[in-house]
Amino acid sequence: MNQRNVRNFCIIAHIDHGKSTLADRFIQRSKIVEERDFRDQLLDSMDIERERGITIKSQAVTLPVEFEDGLYLLNLVDTPGHVDFSYEVSRAISSCEGAVLLIDAAQGVEAQTLSNLYLAFDHDLHIIPVINKIDLPAADIDNCLHQINHDLGLDPDEAVLVSGKTGQGVEDLLRAIVEHIPAPAGEPEKPLQALVFDSHYDPYRGVIVHLRVFDGTLKPGDTIEMWSSGLQYEVEEIGRFKIALEKTGQLSAGDVGYLIAGIKTIRDVRVGDTVTRPDARCKTALPGFREVKPVVFSSIYPVDTNEYQGLVQAMDKLRLNDASLVFEKDNSAALGFGFRCGFLGMLHLEVIQERLEREFDLNLVLTAPSVEYEIELNDGTRLLVDSPMDYPDPGTIKLAMEPFIRASIITPDTYLGPMLSLCNDRRGIQKDMIYLDTSRVELVFEMPLAEVLFDFYDNLKSLSRGYASFDYELIDRRPVQLARLDILVNGKPVDALSMLVYRGNAERRARAACKQLRQEIPRHQFKVPIQGAIGGTVIARETIPALRKDVTAKCYGGDISRKRKLLEKQKEGKKRMKTVGNVELPQSAFLSVLKGSPEE
């Protein structure tokens, strides 16, 4: 294929603006899948993606499209829309020369639309604005064209109108991609220089590397070298993504494809690494990707300690496929060995948990999520603490600092009051309020990251009936009154349920956690007290009543002292049972505290 007839592009947009549906229409137009094998959201290959209706992993596919002037190869990367997976988007963008920026004809420009636009600008991509869902009765195309000009600073005359659902305008968009997005640069004769932008593990073939070739040519039988490690491998197979992997004779400058080289050790492949040839090395490595910074921390333990080795292997395989997952080994008095993990948000945490349970058949317990606090001790030592287990003695602490974010909320002005109340309740400081047009407002708040973790996004969507959008970035750390909240079950602290909280919210969080646990822990033969405590001070309590067996059922009439004697005997038995009884906590109890109470 002539390099001039290759186009590399991605589809970027806010959540639910129709990226995967539009990708389906492209796949149907290119006829790489038989009509009988076609299904909706074809590129969303994981069960969890199809169930939740979201894209989690960016997926690449090569589309051969015939026009009057010849055959073109379009390398498409479908990307996620949720803020938790923006790192996935940045990796997809690095392998492209252009981007299709989707805007929902009914919703208009939203917060994540803007942040994805800036990501594309950072990589100097050519951007084609596309108004999708023009078949909706609520579509307001004129307003969207105004927003493309006013909010995004793009030329509305270049905007293409499409419907991913009906296929209307898809041919015009494909033509615009060929005309406006430049062909990839690079020379096939130069030394090999290719970027690893993703990879996955095949139990039979080892690591399958996804790469974009910038210079040079790659063929089966070639010896390659990983720039960062210096390890060398012989290429067994190369090819393109056509839903399934399709072998080809070679990959040249500008191509996107895969490489199999018998790489058995998962840690040998690093996303962002440069692939070259040992006999003709490229002069410099490609810049790769910025180091990911996790914002939410939680520990993962197997329910059965015998499953620990399985968890170790599962985490290694997941990291290969999800470069934003950060973890280190950890242990707990109550739960044994596990991992302390860093995530990009609560949805990222939930997705990792579900993937571990489904793909690797593990039963897991997660600790309450936390952010990373900076603590200065009286002797001047500074610590970074993300786990309640590492929290020092309060008497030794001089100052605690928590991460702050700048949150951008775009909402119809009808819901302005509830949005302001929500942010103020979460210790937000209003910095700006910009009217984008007659009916939409952008609110800019600075607020603690810890206040956004649990149910902020759910509340935002419910209060605005789904119309408000939310995006954020970390800015700095600020002083906070911090406390370690311990949850005691039957008088014993459960370290997996301990959490670091803002002291002003401690009582509310403790009450909510105790209520949730009371509903989840089954009744025992004895009363089970559940308490929330800071240090030695109990600030919340719930009691699970004992299961009561009617020991007097066989007493018909007779002296009351007979019944009393039986009841006293039962009471003594329960007292003895309470001192030796062990309360079993089901997994659902940990998860209920993890997700927070709806009343919060």
Supply the pLDDT for residue 598: 39
| Rounded to 5°, angle at Cα 505 from 504 and 507 | 100
Find out whether 166 is annotated in a ligand binding site: no
Task: Specify the CATH number for 483-595; select among 3.30.1300.10, 3.30.70.2570, 3.30.565.10, 3.60.15.10.
Answer: 3.30.70.2570
Find out whether 21 is annotated in a ligand binding site: yes
Find out whether 554 is annotated in a ligand binding site: no
For the cut 80, the answer to whether the pLDDT of residue 51 exceeds it is: no
Phi, psi of 122 (to 5 degrees): -60, -30
- What is the arithmetic mean of pLDDT over 502-506? 85
For the cut 60, the answer to whether the pLDDT of residue 270 exceeds it is: yes
pLDDT tens digit sequence for 307-345: 888 888 888 878 776 767 788 888 776 677 888 888 877
Supply the pLDDT for residue 249: 81
Find out whether 565 is annotated in a ligand binding site: no
Give the CA distances from residue 146 to residues 69, 80, 401, 436, in Å, rounded to whole numbers and listed in that order.
34, 26, 42, 10
Percentage above 70 pLDDT, the chain: 85
| 3-state secondary structure (DSSP) of residue 568 | helix
Find out whether 57 is annotated in a ligand binding site: no
Q: Do domains 193-276 and 483-595 have the same CATH topology?
A: no
- What is the arithmetic mean of pLDDT over 384-412? 86
Lowest-pLDDT choice from 439-443, 530-534, 565-569, 578-582? 578-582
CATH class of the domain whose range is 3-180 = alpha beta
Task: Specify the CATH number for 193-276; select among 2.40.30.10, 3.30.420.40, 1.10.8.10, 2.60.130.10.
Answer: 2.40.30.10
Distance of CA 275 to the CA centre of its chain: 28
Find out whether 396 is annotated in a ligand binding site: no
The model's confidence at residue 78, banded by pLDDT at 50, 70 and 90, is confident
Domain boundaries, the chain: 3-180, 193-276, 296-366, 373-479, 483-595
Find out whether 135 is annotated in a ligand binding site: yes
For the cut 70, the answer to whether the pLDDT of residue 449 exceeds it is: yes
Alpha-carbon Rg for the chain in angstroms: 28
Find out whether 134 is annotated in a ligand binding site: yes
For the cut 70, the answer to whether the pLDDT of residue 36 exceeds it is: no
Say which CATH architecture domain 296-366 belongs to.
Answer: 2-Layer Sandwich (3.30)
Supply the pLDDT for residue 578: 46
Say which CATH architecture domain 373-479 belongs to.
Answer: 2-Layer Sandwich (3.30)
Q: How far apart are CA 587 and CA 595, in angstroms?
A: 13
Q: Is 46 left (phi over 0), alpha (psi -120 to 50) or beta?
A: beta
Find out whether 229 is annotated in a ligand binding site: no
Find out whether 266 is annotated in a ligand binding site: no
